[in-house]
Structure 1
Amino acid sequence: MYGNLHRSCKNSDAPFAVKKKTWLTTSLRAFEKPYLTPLKSLLGVRPLTPNNLTIIESGVLGPIEYVLKRQRQFFEKVFSAADPETNCLSTAMQIASEAGAPGAHYIRSTMAAQPQQSREREAVKQAHESSRATTYKMFNSPLEPSPLCRCPANASPKEAHRIAYTRMRLSSHRLRVETGRWARIPREERICPCGQGVQDEHHVLLECSQTAAARRRLYPEDDCPRTLIELFGRDDQEKVAKLCRDVLILCEQ
Structure 2
Amino acid sequence: MSYDDDEVREILRRALVEDEGLGHDELAAAAAEVGIEPERFERAARAVRSERSREVAIERRRRRRGRALARSGLTYALINAFLFAVDFFSGGGWWFHWPLISMALLFALQTTAHFFADDEAAVRKDEERRAKQLRKRNRKERRAQRSEDRRARRRARKERLQDAEDRFEEAVEDGVARLLESLAAGLGGAKPRRPRGDFADFVARKEGRRPPEAKAPRENPARARGPAVRVEATESASAEEEEELREAMRELERELGR
Normalised TM-score (structure 1)? 0.20
Normalised TM-score (structure 2)? 0.19
Larger radius of gyration: 2
The structure whose residues are more often helix, as a share, is 2
